[in-house]
Amino acid sequence: MLFDTHCHLDDERLNGDEAAVLKKAEEFGVITMVTIGTDEKTSAAAAEIAARHPGKIYHTVGAHPSDVDRFGETELAEIEKLAGETKPKAIGEIGLDYYHDSNRQKQVVVFERMITLAKELSLPLVIHDRDAHEDIYRVLAAKATGLKILMHCYSAGAEFVDRFKELGCVFSIAGPVTFKNGQSLRDAVSKIPLDRLVVETDSPYLTPEPKRGKRNEPAYVKYTAEKVAEVKGISFEELADKTTQNAKKFFNI
């Protein structure tokens, strides 16, 4: 049994096809998933999807760093309201994205405000970190003590594993671990303790091999899990069991 810790089931590439997507996930052994909010609209949509599938799909409420230019007080207040009212399993995705061109200062302000929200609600964090490892580490070390932290689509390489481990982070591994050019991620996976590992699709993005080029969906977390098991030198069954247990513990399920 597998647990996809990060998917975007509200995305138009998946949401018209919900029954088929879930059936295929089940056929691939993917029983539980967390659908992720990135702003006030997708967080509300994620909450509705989770409400339709209790015990199977859970959701988060978040404010994605790439969207900060659009976030005013109204949008942020709406996100806070959804977080308080829809019983999300975490606040996220939140964080910093220095790859896309949006206001970095404002990203930090929104990121810190979301960490404060998570503290008020005693919820874990789901972190988006793209080309911003040092600043992510700095903000988390300063502001997020005492909170559970999941590094979504971990990409900071083996050299950051120890530092994020010290903060108590869980590391979520996505499709790039299966890519030909994914060696630095595979090196990181070798260093991450088994009790800190979970797997995700980030669907509809980041489709793993051998489906690369097609739409991603939760079923395909199986390919990522198979590769992670190979890197760790353990059986697929053990990896699936461990990562599912870790994910349930992290999200309090």
CB of 17 to Zn ion, least distance (A): 18
Residue nearer to Zn ion on the CB measure, 35 or 243:
35
Which pairs from 128-131 meet CB under 8 Å and 24+ separation? 128/64, 128/65, 128/92, 128/93, 128/94, 128/95, 128/96, 128/97, 128/152, 128/153, 129/95, 129/96, 129/155, 129/156, 130/95, 130/96, 130/97, 130/98, 130/99, 130/100, 130/155, 131/97, 131/98, 131/99
Q: Does residue 218 have a cis bond before it (omega within 30 degrees)?
A: no
- Residue 210 CB neighbour total at 10 angstroms: 10
Distances (CA, A) of 73 to 68, 113, 120, 183, 244: 11, 11, 18, 42, 37
Min separation Cβ 114 and Zn ion, Å: 15
CB of 170 to Zn ion, least distance (A): 16
Instruction: Rank residues 40 and 202 by Cβ distance to Zn ion and give the closer one.
Output: 202
C-beta of 83 vs 126, nearer to Zn ion: 126
CB of 237 to Zn ion, least distance (A): 27
Q: How far is the CB of 200 from Zn ion (least distance, A)?
A: 8
Question: Which CB atom, from 7 or from 229, has the smaller least distance to Zn ion?
Answer: 7
Least distance to Zn ion from the beta carbon of 175, Å?
Answer: 12
Report the residue number, 80 or 202, with the smaller CB distance to Zn ion.
Answer: 202
Give the separation between CA 120 and CA 14, rounded to whole angstroms.
Answer: 32
Residue of 173, 34, 45, 159 whose CA lies nearest to 92: 34
Instruction: Quote the CA–CA distance of 94 and 82 in Å, as a whole number.
Output: 15
Residue nearest Zn ion by beta-carbon distance: 202
Q: How far is the CB of 36 from Zn ion (least distance, A)?
A: 5
The amino acid present at 230, given as its one-letter code, is: E
Instruction: Provide φ and ψ at 54, rounded to 5°.
Output: -60, 140
Q: Which is nearer to Zn ion, 201 or 244 (CB)?
A: 201
Residues engaged in binding Zn ion (CB under 5 A): 202
Q: Which is nearer to Zn ion, 129 or 202 (CB)?
A: 202
Q: What is the DSSP letter of 206?
A: S
- Cα 144 to chain centroid distance, Å, stands at 17
